[in-house]
Every structure is written in structure tokens, then in C-alpha cells.
Amino acid sequence: MTIEHVSSNKSFGGWHKQYSHASTTTHCDMRFAIYLPPQCSSGAKVPVLYWLSGLTCTDENFMQKAGAQRIAAELGIAIVAPDTSPRGENVANDDGYDLGQGAGFYLNATQAPWSAHFHMYDYVVNELPALIEAHFPVTQQRAISGHSMGGHGALTIALKNPQLFASASAFSPICHPTQCPWGQKAFTAYLGEDQSTWQQYDTVYLISQNRESVPMLVDQGLDDNFLKEQLMPSALAEAVKQTDYPLVLRQHEGYDHSYYFIASFIEDHLRFHAKQLAE
């Protein structure tokens, strides 16, 4: 489990660092970013928030735009941001922004040519945490969050692995991917025509299955261009209502799908996770 250092930047007394490594899960080189708060320099081990970004993003978008480091430094939380998909000349791709490289959808592909590399679910759940815990001063306490496609990933991963994550949150998540164009395109390509295999990666469906609960916070902007066609928060709200699931869904007038929205409420999410991680 070797990693290669790419870059370092000091931030709010801690360090933002990038690393690459040869992944045994995606069978290609992967890159991730980690923010280590200043407490790590004093020898402390800290919990980790895993952040999953959206379509077209890399490990850089959240770290550069969200403004999360200041609060993470205060709370003593590390942040890990993986890339959003496998990448490389030998990795399958598509001309569309919503399929292929940059669009891993945090699932395990079963259909060729995607099944050779697109195992982002296993990467985020198993390989990446093991790598982080082996190389950095962190505990096994984990939370998970994300935006859009990454919000879908964060919620579904937490719902399927409640023993691994103390809490989950999302900004503008794709709530019901089996019923929206982004999800239907990706799931058909990655998982095939049998739609019964899609449900395991659908937040609305998973909440309806009465699984062990994980505290969740979701924020959605009401001026989001993708609100009704792609994100479908109304379906999430109905599933939460029917099951009394411990998910708080907040909707905000005037906010869109951008990192301006994320930066406006990221402090709330970090404090939410810090509270759950402390319990």
C-alpha cells in the first residue's frame, strides 16, 4: 500500500496534500487529496470526513472552492477527497460529461468495458479508508459527504454501510437516480438493462428498506437548474416521511448547484459531522 506524494500546501495551520497510488480496486493510478488539521502536527489522531465530488470534478474542486479547511482545523477533522472516477489512456471513456471518466457514480460496474476499472464503490468503502488509516494519523471514525453525483454516492454508501460511518450529508444529491436521466444513462451503461440491479444505488429505494439508520443532513438550493429533472428531492422527502428516517432535508431559496452554495453551508455540515463523530 505505497503512495506517492504529489503536492503540499499549508492551510489554517494544517496541511492540504495530494497523493497518487496504484489502485488494486480500479486497476489504474488514482489520486486523492487529504487535509490534515493542525492537531495532527501535535501527534493527535483525528476522525475523517470523506468527501465525494460531482460530475466532471477531480479531487481538487472541493478542496479549492468549498472553504472547509478553516472549520476542519477548528474541529480537528481530516478531510479526504478522492477523484470521481478511474482515469488513464487505458480506461474506458465516453464523449458525454455524464458517463465515463469524471462520472464514476460511486458504484461497481458489471458491464464491459466499464467493469475493468469502474469500481468506485469498493474503492471508497474499502481500499481508500484502509490506505488513509495506514498512512496518516487518523482514527477509524468516519463520516461521509458529497455534492450532486457525490451526494448520491455519500448517501447510498452510508445507507449500505451504517457500521462504517457515523453520519452522512449531501449538497444537491441525485436522490432517485433510477428515475432521472443522469442515473438512467449511467446505470444502463455500468450495470446493464436489468433495472432490479440499479436499486442498490438509489437513496430513495434504500431508505424505504428500513435499514439501520445513519444520521443525515441534506441541503438543496431551490434555484438549482437540475432540481426537478435530475435531483428529485421531493422523492427523498416522501421516503423520509414514510419511514421516519433520521434525515434532515433543508431547502434554500435563491441558491443554485454551484460551490457558492456549498461554501455557504459547509460549516453546518462539518459541525453536524463533528457532533456525530463525538458520540
Is 224 considered catalytic here?
A: yes
Is 21 considered catalytic here?
A: no
Query: What is the 3 state secondary structure string of 177-225?
Result: HHHCHHHHHHHHHHHCCCHHHCHHHCHHHHHCCCCCCCCEEEEEECCCC
Of the candidates 147, 167, 224, 269, the residue annotated as catalytic is: 224
Is 119 considered catalytic here?
A: no
Contact yes or no for 257/225 (Cβ under 8 A): yes
Contact yes or no for 119/140 (Cβ under 8 A): no
Q: Quick one: residue 27, left, alpha or beta (phi over 0 = left, psi -120 to 50 = alpha)?
A: left
Of the candidates 148, 167, 169, 172, the residue annotated as catalytic is: 148
CA gap 21, 31 in Å, rounded: 7
Contact yes or no for 170/151 (Cβ under 8 A): yes
Distances (CA, A) of 273 to 115, 157, 277, 279: 33, 16, 6, 10
Of the candidates 117, 176, 257, 273, the residue annotated as catalytic is: 257
- The residues carrying an active-site annotation are 148, 224, 257
